């Protein structure tokens, strides 16, 4: 949660952006009612354009690795129905009903574009979030790295002719 940590812990892409903008890679957004700030930030990202029309289109994922209270379940559910893939850690008190569990973890995606998941292992937990982000990048057609090419007028003419 310090700007300096970006260079130590992040990949080169994120580290570069953090250094340029001057922000830490992990942004503290506040208390539990301030989860609403994440919803609004996600909405701003949608509005800024280029990443789909809805929160469910964004390459984004939610996580509560050490959730504890009923409040977390409410938060989890409003993230899911807002279109966010949301992974919880520790446990989920739904394992006694495989049908209901499947409804939360899989079927809800068809309705809301977001769904619940449970992963206790922190590494696998993160990998599941990354896999979802990659899935969304692919759907947006931004899964392959693209180099920025400086175009001059003759290149543009060629493009237009084609």
Partner 1 sequence: MAAEEVKKVVAKKVKEPPRPEDLALDVASQQMITRSREMEIETIFDRAQTMKPCNIGAQGTCCKNCSQGPCRLPLPKGGIEGEDTRKGLCGATAHTIAARNFARMVAGGAAAHSDHGRGVAEAFLAAARKEVDDYHIKDTKKLLEIAPDYGVDITVEGKDGEILDRDIDEIAVEVGENALAQFGQQNGEVCTTLRAPKARVDLWRKLGVMPRGIDREIVEIMHRTHIGVDQHYENLVEQCSRAAIGDGWGGSMIATDLQDVLFGCPYPVKSSANLGVMKEDHVNIVIHGHEPLLSEMIVQAAELPEMIDLAKKNGANGIQLSGICCTANELLMRHGIPLCGDFLQQELAIITGAVDAMVVDIQCIMENIATVAQCFHTKIITTNPRARIASGDTIHIEFDEHTAFEDAKKIVKTAIENFPKREKEVMIPDERHDLIAGFSYEAVEYHLGGTFRGTYYTLNDNIINGRIRGIGGVVG
Binding to partner 1 in span 75-104, by CB under 8 A: 75-79, 81-84, 91-101, 103-104
Residues whose CB falls within 8 Å of the CB of residue 141, separated by 6 or more in sequence, listed in order: none
List the one residue from 8, 110, 123, 145 that touches partner 1 (CB under 8 A).
145
User: For partner 1, which is the closer residue by CB, 28 or 153?
Assistant: 28
Which tokens is 127 given? 């990998």
Binding to partner 1 by residue 149, rule CB under 8 A? no
**Alpha-carbon distance 77 to 16, whole Å?**
34
**Alpha-carbon distance 116 to 88, whole Å?**
8
List the one residue from 7, 34, 122, 157 that touches partner 1 (CB under 8 A).
34
Binding to partner 1 by residue 40, rule CB under 8 A? yes
Report CA-CA distances (Å) from 132 to 61, 86, 112, 156.
7, 10, 15, 36
List the one residue from 8, 110, 123, 146 that touches partner 1 (CB under 8 A).
146
């Amino acid at each position: 949660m310090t700007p300096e940590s970006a260079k130590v812990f992040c990949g080169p892409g994120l580290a570069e952006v953090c250094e340029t903008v001057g922000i830490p890679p992990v942004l503290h957004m506040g208390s539990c009612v301030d989860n609403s700030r994440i919803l609004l930030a996600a909405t701003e990202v949608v509005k800024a354009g280029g990443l789909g029309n809805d929160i469910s289109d964004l390459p984004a994922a939610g996580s509560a690795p050490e959730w504890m209270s009923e409040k977390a379940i409410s938060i989890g559910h409003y993230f899911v129905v807002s279109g966010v893939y949301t992974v919880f850690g520790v446990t989920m008190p739904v394992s006694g009903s495989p049908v209901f569990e499947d409804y939360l973890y899989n079927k809800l995606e068809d309705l809301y574009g977001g769904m619940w998941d449970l992963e206790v292992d922190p590494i696998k937990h993160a990998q599941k979030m990354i896999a979802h982000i990659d899935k969304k990048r692919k759907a947006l057609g931004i899964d392959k790295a693209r180099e920025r090419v400086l175009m001059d007028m003759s290149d543009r003419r060629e493009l237009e002719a084609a």
